[in-house]
């Protein structure tokens, strides 16, 4: 459990309103976690700011990673635990950066800690509040497939193990307060602003998927059995919302599943002309995992071209073909829902005969593209972005972490779509760049 | 469980700060409780499954018995499963069957 900001010994606080640290990292996904651990191990004081109630980012939401098919949370959880226990890291969860201004050789950063409506010092993470709460709401961690209570710990291995009360769905019945053995529920808690003084900033804000309705002809926001790629990940996760792979409309075991590639990227018409770099591989990975879970299911990937550029990726692709996954070079024009909630795809093959044809599947996963998840210009940073909204790296590829503003660095998918391997590599490089910068600036905490 | 004096005081403060709870929210909660009660009333007890012709039920069977859409039933069955009120029993054709604990 994290101590509150002003009493955390890992921050060298001159005053309660101006605690000082060497580095502030925005985003505690895999890039932010890796960079914070590298810097903290070099004895730098790090403030790690995460807008969600738990650290871990997107990666903790994934089932497995490609091409090794290692468990994603087995890679992420140890880093989450190390970061939360490191004496040089102050992880501020459920907090957002509100403002950044230049101050001497460093920066002044205003961070707003959103109310969880509990006293974090008193809470022991016993979940009795969650058991007692009578209100069921959609669980964002499960991309709305699952349910949670209006007061709940975000997910099983969340760090910190502290609940958040969804005040907008709270009926003020008092059940949680009655059940709490430490009297920690506070229905009137307010946001808290703290100004930090830091020597450098790392932007590791990651990505978001393009909206499911980016291409309305695919019905991503209308048809229950058309899933986003991240929903596909949750279905495949060992502790996913249904406990196994079932289709969301009626709990049927699907036996004919399609993946549609480039469903949210490489398309001028939706303003995303670039390749999102990871979709081919994550679709192949999900198809292989599905094939393992549902050995008799037909799995088809409709693609423009397969981009398997990383180490071991081509072999991974060949393995998927050998497992019997169908790769069909075709463009999907539209999807229609049938009465029994199956999906009729109108496709045009790009090999052999090119007559349009209609094929039926009972579940479809859209390989959506990646967009930046944060706009640095929104908080008065002089950090420029590229035409696509990702942070501009003027010295890439040799120094991809350098941004257009001295002292502010970026890593991971904040600078462009990239996979986990490249993200971790870039985060390590970012930590080195920051260390060099702090030495050059002769930054001192005292 | 009746609210303790401390809880009553907290709720009084919260209502003074936030105003009263919106009617739509209370209505949504009632509807959710109604669906969950209907599901639990429809399902047999796990211990009784297999005895005297009692069978666990699939999502379409629960939907048909309760006259609620399959999608909604499936979401609530998983909610109840997560909070330990429902067991999944076994595969039956293309579906899994469920029973209450």
What residue spans define the domains of chain B?
23-100
Whether a cis peptide bond, with omega within 30° of 0, leads into A67 is yes
Q: Alpha helices, DSSP H only, in A239-394?
A: 279-293, 313-322
Q: Tell me what pLDDT residue A160 has.
A: 97
B92 touches chain A (CB under 8 A): no
Percent of chain A scoring above 70 in pLDDT: 96
B58 touches chain A (CB under 8 A): yes
pLDDT of B16 over the 60 cut: yes
B77 touches chain A (CB under 8 A): yes
Distance of alpha carbon A226 from alpha carbon A337, whole angstroms: 9
Q: Which CATH fold topology does B23-100 show?
A: Arc Repressor Mutant, subunit A (1.10.10)
pLDDT band at B3 (very low <50, low <70, confident <90, very high): low
pLDDT of A3 over the 70 cut: no
Residues A253, B62, A364: CA angle, nearest 5 degrees? 30
> What rounded mean pLDDT belongs to chain B?
93
Distance of alpha carbon A345 from alpha carbon A259, whole angstroms: 11
Put simply, the answer to whether A241 touches B78 (Cβ < 8 Å) is: yes
Mean pLDDT of A78-98: 97
- 3-state secondary structure at position A222: coil
| pLDDT tens profile A296-344 | 999 999 999 999 999 999 999 999 999 999 999 999 999 999 999 999 9
- 3-state secondary structure at position A407: coil
pLDDT of A207 over the 60 cut: yes
Distance of alpha carbon A434 from alpha carbon A106, whole angstroms: 12
pLDDT band at A104 (very low <50, low <70, confident <90, very high): very high
Q: Is the complex ipTM more than 0.85?
A: yes
Instruction: Please tell me which residue, B10 or A21, carries the higher pLDDT value.
Output: A21
B34 touches chain A (CB under 8 A): no
What domains can be seen in chain A, in order of their start residue? Answer: 1-113+191-206+373-446 (3.50.50.60), 115-188 (3.30.70), 210-369 (3.50.50.60)
The residue of chain B with its CA nearest to that of A188 is: B14
Distance of alpha carbon B89 from alpha carbon B56, whole angstroms: 7
Picking from A260, A229, A276, the residue whose alpha carbon sits closest to that of residue A371 is A276
Picking from A129, A74, A15, the residue whose alpha carbon sits closest to that of residue A420 is A74
Residues forming beta bridges with residue A346, ordered by sequence position:
A334, A358
Q: Tell me what pLDDT residue A13 has.
A: 36
> What rounded mean pLDDT belongs to chain A?
93
pLDDT of A48 over the 80 cut: yes
Distance of alpha carbon A429 from alpha carbon A422, whole angstroms: 10
Distance of alpha carbon B78 from alpha carbon B74, whole angstroms: 6
Residues forming beta bridges with residue A208, ordered by sequence position:
A371
Please, are residues A175 and A128 in contact by the beta-carbon 8 Å criterion? Answer: no
| pLDDT tens profile B47-79 | 999 888 899 999 999 999 999 999 999 999 999
Distance of alpha carbon A95 from alpha carbon A192, whole angstroms: 9
Instruction: Please tell me which residue, A380 or A28, carries the higher pLDDT value.
Output: A28
pLDDT of B1 over the 60 cut: no
Distance of alpha carbon A309 from alpha carbon A288, whole angstroms: 18
Mean pLDDT of A135-152: 97
pLDDT of A15 over the 70 cut: no
Distance of alpha carbon A361 from alpha carbon B27, whole angstroms: 37
| pLDDT tens profile A223-243 | 999 999 999 999 999 889 999
Distance of alpha carbon B71 from alpha carbon B81, whole angstroms: 15
Please, are residues A151 and A164 in contact by the beta-carbon 8 Å criterion? Answer: yes
For A397-424, letters b (16+ CB in 10 Å) and e give eeebbbbbbebbbbbbbbbbbbbbebbb
Interface test with A, best of B75, B89, B91 (most A CBs within 10 A): B75
H or E segment to which residue A199 belongs: strand A192-203
Put simply, the answer to whether A172 touches B3 (Cβ < 8 Å) is: no
Residue tagged 């088809």 (tokens): A300
pLDDT of A14 over the 80 cut: no
pLDDT band at A144 (very low <50, low <70, confident <90, very high): very high
pLDDT of A213 over the 80 cut: yes
| pLDDT tens profile A343-384 | 999 999 998 877 899 999 999 999 999 999 987 777 777 899
Whether a cis peptide bond, with omega within 30° of 0, leads into A160 is yes
- Note which residues in 184-243 of chain A have CB less than 8 A from chain B: 185-188, 224, 241-243
Interface test with B, best of A251, A255, A337 (most B CBs within 10 A): A251
H or E segment to which residue B66 belongs: helix B59-66
Residue tagged 């921050």 (tokens): A11
């Amino acid at each position: 459990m994290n101590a509150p900001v002003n009493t955390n010994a890992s921050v060298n606080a001159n005053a309660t309103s101006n605690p000082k640290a060497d580095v502030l990292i925005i985003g505690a996904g895999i890039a932010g976690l890796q960079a914070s651990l590298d810097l903290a191990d070099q004895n730098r004081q790090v403030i790690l700011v995460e807008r969600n109630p738990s650290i871990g980012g997107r990666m903790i939401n994934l089932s497995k990673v490609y091409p090794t098919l290692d468990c994603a949370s087995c890679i992420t959880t140890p880093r989450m635990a190390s970061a939360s226990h490191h004496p040089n890291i102050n992880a501020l969860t459920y907090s957002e950066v509100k403002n950044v201004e230049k101050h001497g050789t460093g920066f002044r950063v205003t961070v707003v800690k959103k109310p969880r409506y509990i006293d974090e010092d008193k809470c022991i993470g016993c979940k009795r509040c969650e058991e007692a709460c009578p209100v069921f709401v959609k669980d964002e961690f499960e991309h709305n497939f699952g349910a949670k209570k209006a007061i709940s710990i975000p997910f099983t291995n969340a760090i910190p193990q502290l609940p958040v009360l969804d005040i907008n769905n709270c009926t003020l019945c008092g059940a949680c307060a009655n059940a709490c053995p430490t009297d920690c529920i506070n229905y009137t808690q307010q946001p808290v602003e703290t100004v930090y003084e830091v020597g450098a900033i790392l932007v590791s804000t990651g990505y978001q998927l393009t909206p499911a309705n980016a291409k309305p002809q695919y019905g991503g926001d209308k048809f229950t059995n058309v899933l986003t790629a991240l929903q596909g990940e949750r279905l495949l996760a060992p502790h996913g919302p249904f406990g196994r792979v079932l289709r969301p409309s009626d709990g049927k075991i699907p036996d004919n599943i399609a993946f549609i590639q480039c469903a949210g990227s490489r398309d001028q018409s939706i303003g995303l002309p670039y390749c999102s770099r990871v979709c081919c591989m994550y679709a192949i990975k999900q198809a292989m995992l599905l094939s393992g879970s549902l050995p008799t299911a037909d799995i088809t990937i409709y693609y423009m071209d397969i981009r398997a550029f990383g180490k071991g990726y081509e072999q991974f692709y060949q393995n998927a073909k050998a497992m019997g996954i169908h790769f069909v070079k075709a463009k999907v024009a539209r999807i229609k829902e049938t009465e029994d909630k199956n999906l009729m795809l109108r496709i045009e093959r790009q090999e052999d005969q090119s007559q349009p044809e209609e094929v039926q599947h009972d579940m479809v996963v859209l390989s959506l593209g990646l967009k930046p998840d944060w706009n640095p210009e929104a908080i008065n940073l002089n950090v420029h972005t590229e035409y696509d909204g990702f942070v501009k790296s003027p010295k890439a590829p040799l120094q991809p972490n350098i941004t257009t503003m001295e002292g502010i660095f970026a890593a991971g998918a904040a600078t462009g779509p990239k996979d986990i391997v490249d993200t971790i590599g870039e985060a390590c490089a970012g930590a080195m760049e920051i260390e060099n910068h702090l030495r050059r600036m002769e930054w001192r905490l005292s | 469980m009746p609210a303790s004096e401390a809880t009553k005081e907290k709720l009084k403060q919260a209502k003074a700060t936030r105003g009263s709870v919106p009617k739509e929210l209370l209505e949504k909660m009632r509807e959710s409780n109604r669906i969950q009660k209907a599901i639990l009333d429809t399902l047999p007890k796990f211990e009784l499954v297999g005895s005297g012709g009692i069978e666990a039920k699939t999502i379409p069977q629960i939907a048909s018995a309760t006259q609620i859409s399959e999608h909604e039933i499936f979401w609530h069955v998983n909610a109840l499963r997560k909070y330990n009120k429902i067991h999944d029993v076994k595969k039956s054709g293309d579906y899994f069957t469920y029973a209450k604990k």
